Amino acid sequence: MAFPGTGLIWMNGKFVEWDQAQIHVASHVIHYGSGVFEGARCYDTRNGPACFRLDAHIRRLIDSAKIYRMEVPYDQQQISDAVVDLIKRNGFKACYIRPLVYRGYDSLGVNPFPCPVDVAIMLWEWGAYFTKEAIEEGLDVKISTWARNAPNTMPSMAKSVANYANSQLIKMEAILEGYAEGIALDTDGNLSEGSGQNIFIVRDGVIHTPPVGSSILSGITRDSVVTIARDLGFDVREQVLPREMLYVADEVFFVGTAVEVTPIKSVDKIKVGRGRRGPITEALQQRFFDIVRGDAADTHGWLQHLETPQAATSGSSTRR
């Protein structure tokens, strides 16, 4: 399937047509993976389009850049404003949001410092990452032969483009072996995360997820699901989890901006629980979707509403 992109892309403060948004092949990022990025979503809620936790995503973008000693020439507010402006100009109601900070064109030594730090923001309409069937019934996954990056190698807290070389190895292996997704362990053999999603396990009504020290990306959906679960009265524990917890779990599910909340029905061909979506997964999924669709109260202030061009002219702005 060809990339479905259309509309404008924001590049260093300018709005550029999708087909014109190009960089030079000698850009540092292409050769050495010197870039950090984000993936957020704008939902078409019952109160109009709204970005989900955009502030948290842009903060993580700035944090990722800081870890890699990149001085971003825009602050958090300017990038957030640019995202909102771009969504409005493109007239999207629901879209995936991809800000990217990268080392551009200057020289091709490994030393990145001479290269400029460039910023781009692109949007595209992207529905569910897995099928509707998967969201209701669950995925068949395998534990990858590839581990996540060891501590003190590639920082997993930074959402760096370079980390996704490891993600691609995990994803390709899973696909070629007939699975929807792979789960990586950390280099100690404990549970880490999927190629692009965090993981949760339920056993005896208690919800577990690996801690930030288990080579995971500190996911914003993970944080939201922990909060939602605690709001619903569940006991949630962030703790180091051995691989075999997956095999004896009552429920296992992935979370992430792209996958939202997606159940897992088997791991390494071992059935999870009864081999279908469990009740706690379903309750958390329901709550998550209710919040992002605007059907439940946004008690944590996660939705940033934006006026559509139409609403702007009729004066019914809901933007905060």
The reply to whether 39 sits near ligand PMP by the rule CB under 6 A is yes
- What is d(CA 55, CA 44) in angstroms, rounded to the nearest whole number? 18
Query: Considering the complex, what minimum distance in angstroms separates the CB of residue 169 from ligand PMP?
Result: 12
Which one of 35, 182, 256, 278 is in contact with ligand PMP (CB under 6 A)? 256
Write down the least CB distance from residue 14 to ligand PMP, Å. Answer: 26
Q: Looking at beta carbons only, is 104 or 146 nearer to ligand PMP?
A: 146
**108/157 with CB nearer ligand PMP:** 157
Least distance (Å) between residue 22 CB and ligand PMP: 25
List 66, 93, 142, 159, catalytic entry: 159
Encode the chain in three state secondary structure: CCCCCCCEEEECCEEEEHHHCCCCCCCHHHHHCCEEECCEEEEEECCEEEEECHHHHHHHHHHHHHHCCCCCCCCHHHHHHHHHHHHHHHCCCCEEEEEEEEECCCCCCCCCCCCCEEEEEEEECCCCCCCHHHHHHCEEEEECCCCCCCCCCCCCCCCECCHHHHHHHHHHHHHHCCCCEEEEECCCCEEEEECCCEEEEEECCEEEECCCCCCCCCCHHHHHHHHHHHHCCCCEEECCCECCHHHHCCEEEEEECCCEEEEEEEECCEECCCCCCCHHHHHHHHHHHHHHHCCCCCCCCCEEECCCHHHHHHCCCCCC
Annotate each residue in 112-151 with x if it binds ligand PMP (CB under 6 A) or - if it does not, as one string.
Answer: ----------------------------------------
- Least Cβ distance, residue 240 to ligand PMP (angstroms): 17
Kindly determine how many residues on this chain lie close enough to bind ligand PMP according to the rule CB under 6 A: 13
Is 11 one of the binding residues for ligand PMP (CB under 6 A)? no
**Closer CB to ligand PMP, 28 or 41, in the complex:** 41
In the complex with ligand PMP, the residue whose CB is nearer, 16 or 258, is 258
**Residue 304 binds to ligand PMP (criterion: CB under 6 A):** no
**Binders of ligand PMP in range 164-223 (CB under 6 A):** 167, 193, 196-198, 217, 219-222
Confirm whether 159 is a catalytic residue.
yes
Closer by beta carbon to ligand PMP, 187 or else 318: 187
Q: How far is the CB of 100 from ligand PMP (least distance, A)?
A: 13
Q: What are the residues binding ligand PMP (CB under 6 A)?
A: 39, 167, 193, 196-198, 217, 219-222, 256-257
Which residues are known catalytic residues? 159
